[in-house]
Amino acid sequence: MAGWELVEASGLLDDADVTITGARFGYDAGYADGEQLLLILNGTSNQEGWEDFEQFLSIGKGWDTHDQGLTVNGQDAFRTNSQYGIFIAGAMASGAEAALMARGMPDVAAIWVGLKFHVKRSPHDYGGEIGVKNVLAPSAFLGEVGKADAPVATAPVTAPVSTPTTEGAAPASNGAGELIAAVTLLAVETDNHDAFLEEVITNHAEVQKDPALFADVVDPDGLYARANA
């Protein structure tokens, strides 16, 4: 039976080791009446009650997505006081800068998939009626899924690049040869990059489980461009 003692609990993900297993831009009806575009992160953590988590990060005004949440556009940069801006700043300062920059740009959701961080909430003063809010951000980079936990800050992490064959299929890479071949064939058969992305998400959603391949698929100058060169 519980005693009279009380404990403080925020009920939020905080001060935990996390692994990001999914990322997309989208809306949620329970956040700002479903009108605020968010980066939605899914993953696992070592915090009790948050072993599997979903985290919303507002990205600020002026953004839109036209590819089912794979990327956003509309602004030149994310604002430093947006929740996503604070998350980005924390990640870059945590030791993940080389890994992130090798993966792509922050307007591509897939760059976060497979990264491991220690995350904490810290107070951020928004001023006015909003006041001070505790915002989640990485405080330490713990590595990448499938790679050594201790990141090497001096050596950029380069995502593997698959080169199409004359038949339009890519050779095997890390055991994903059949998937790469199927995706490359779709690139050859579709009329533009947007149509290619839609076909990949519809027919080969498992691509999102391979961060490097997913980033290559999302990049208009990546796999699609090479397959149609």
Write the pLDDT tens digit of every residue in 145-158: 876 654 433 333 33
- Number of structural domains (the chain) is 2
The answer to whether residues 181 and 135 belong to one domain is no
Residue-range definition of the domain harbouring residue 93: 16-144
Sign, Cα dihedral of 81, 87, 91, 94: positive
Q: Decide if 95 is inside a domain.
A: yes
The answer to whether residues 56 and 102 belong to one domain is yes
**Tens digit of each residue's pLDDT, the chain (229 residues):** 455 654 444 578 999 999 998 899 999 999 989 999 999 999 999 999 999 999 999 999 999 998 889 899 999 999 999 999 999 999 999 999 999 988 888 998 988 988 999 999 999 887 788 788 899 999 999 998 876 654 433 333 333 333 333 233 333 333 457 788 888 888 888 888 878 887 887 788 788 777 778 878 888 888 888 888 8
Which pLDDT value is given to residue 153? 38
How far, in Å, CA of 142 to CA of 144, rounded? 7
The answer to whether residues 84 and 184 belong to one domain is no
Q: Decide if 164 is inside a domain.
A: no
The answer to whether residues 20 and 93 belong to one domain is yes
Q: Decide if 60 is inside a domain.
A: yes
Q: Decide if 189 is inside a domain.
A: yes
Which pLDDT value is given to residue 148? 60
The pTM is what? 0.66
Can you state the angle between helices 177-189 and 211-218, rounded to 10 degrees?
Answer: 10
Q: Decide if 165 is inside a domain.
A: no
The answer to whether residues 207 and 97 belong to one domain is no
Q: What is the pLDDT of residues 136-145, one digit of tens each?
A: 999 999 998 8
The answer to whether residues 217 and 115 belong to one domain is no
